[in-house]
């Protein structure tokens, strides 16, 4: 592909591999689902997939142009979607986002809390407190704020399901990503804790732990930053399936966890990583 030709190290075989597109199903039919970070990458793929399954999708993102375009594309394809601008790290913005979803679609059945940012690529002593707090604020506090308002809404109408995007970095350490790994470990802890409250909320809460997924977050650096790419080479061989992930790989797992096909699955952090953590 164009991208694999530009790639600074030899990984063509891994990048060429793709996912088979699945036929339209009704796994999420008529469910009203929020997707945060739905303007790009994993969130955008999830919003598309959920809409193909018959869900009514609210894309919530701080990027207004890309978010609105993502919702419009779903509608043009015959699906049902809308967009609301939201900063997940802002309590009032998240409350307004959940209220807007309920006002627009008439309720809330599920949420994929996926918005996130990446790390500053510094070792701990070089990381400023502002850099640390920025990642914790969006990746961890943002998931808390979304869950707080979403679960409050869901429990009023009999419950629902939540999937949070953590990362393999939540459980496996690497240099230069302390603030990111900590934020994602926090998401898995929050997921477990909230899942225990099912008796009061009737909301299942699970997380996904993506391996390296080719999205705008990673691709830019992968293709333009030789140092970053070289650092990833040893990581690639640990994705046992022989390639990095595609956004749809994660979207498929989130779809299943949000569906009614797994009512007994609650509190897990599911690796979606081509075997990375196992290795």
138 in contact with ligand NAD (CB under 6 A): yes
Minimal CA–CA distance to 250: which of 50, 63, 31?
A: 50
58 in contact with ligand NAD (CB under 6 A): no
Give the x-and-dash track for 244-263 against ligand NAD (CB under 6 A). --------------------
Minimal CA–CA distance to 73: which of 59, 62, 87?
A: 59
**In sequence order, which residues have a C-beta less than 8 Å from that of residue 226 and are 6 or more positions away?**
8, 9
39 in contact with ligand NAD (CB under 6 A): yes
Q: CA torsion 80→85→88→93, rounded to 10°?
A: -110
270 in contact with ligand NAD (CB under 6 A): no
Tokens of 98: 């959940």
For ligand NAD, which is the closer residue by CB, 87 or 109?
A: 87
Out of 15, 35, 41, 46, the residue judged to bind ligand NAD by CB under 6 A: 41
180 as an active site residue: the answer is yes
How many chain residues touch ligand NAD (CB under 6 A)?
Answer: 29
Write the DSSP symbol of residue 129: H
Minimal CA–CA distance to 140: which of 93, 97, 193, 179?
A: 179
DSSP run (H or E) holding 231: helix 226-237
Strand, coil or helix: 158: coil
Out of 117, 152, 262, 265, the residue judged to bind ligand NAD by CB under 6 A: 117
Out of 59, 111, 161, 212, the residue judged to bind ligand NAD by CB under 6 A: 212
Residues 76-105 that bind ligand NAD (CB under 6 A): 86-89
Judged on CB neighbours under 10 Å (0-12, 13-18, 19+), 221 is middle
271 in contact with ligand NAD (CB under 6 A): no
Provide the minimum distance between the beta carbon of 150 and ligand NAD in the complex, in angstroms, as a whole number: 14
213 in contact with ligand NAD (CB under 6 A): yes
Which positions lie near ligand NAD, rule CB under 6 A?
A: 36-37, 39-43, 61-63, 86-89, 114-117, 138, 142, 165, 167, 210, 212-213, 215-218
């Amino acid at each position: 592909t164009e991208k694999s030709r530009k790639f600074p190290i030899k990984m063509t075989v891994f990048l060429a591999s793709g996912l088979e597109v699945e036929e339209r199903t009704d796994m999420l039919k008529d469910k009203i689902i929020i997707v945060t970070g739905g303007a790009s990458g994993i969130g955008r793929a999830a919003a598309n997939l959920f809409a193909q399954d018959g869900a009514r999708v609210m894309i919530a993102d701080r990027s207004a142009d890309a978010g609105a375009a993502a919702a419009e594309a779903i509608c043009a394809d015959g699906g049902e979607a809308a967009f609301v601008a939201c900063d997940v790290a802002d309590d009032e913005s998240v409350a307004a986002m959940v209220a807007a979803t309920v006002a627009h679609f008439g309720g809330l059945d599920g949420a994929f809390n996926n918005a996130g940012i990446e790390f500053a690529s510094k070792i701990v002593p070089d990381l400023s407190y502002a850099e640390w707090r920025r990642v914790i604020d969006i990746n961890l506090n943002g998931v808390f704020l979304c869950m707080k308002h979403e679960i409050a809404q869901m429990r009023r109408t009999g419950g629902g399901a939540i999937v949070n995007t953590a990362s393999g970095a939540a459980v496996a350490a690497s240099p230069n990503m302390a603030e990111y790994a900590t934020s994602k470990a926090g998401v898995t802890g929050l997921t477990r804790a909230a899942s225990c409250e099912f008796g009061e909320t009737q909301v299942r809460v699970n997380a996904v732990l993506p391996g390296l997924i080719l999205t705008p977050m990673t691709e830019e650096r992968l293709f333009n930053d030789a140092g970053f790419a070289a650092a990833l080479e040893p990581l690639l061989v640990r994705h046992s399936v022989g390639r990095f992930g595609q956004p749809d790989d994660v979207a498929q797992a989130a779809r299943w966890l949000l569906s009614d096909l797994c009512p007994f699955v609650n509190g897990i952090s599911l690796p979606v990583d081509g075997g990375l953590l196992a290795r």
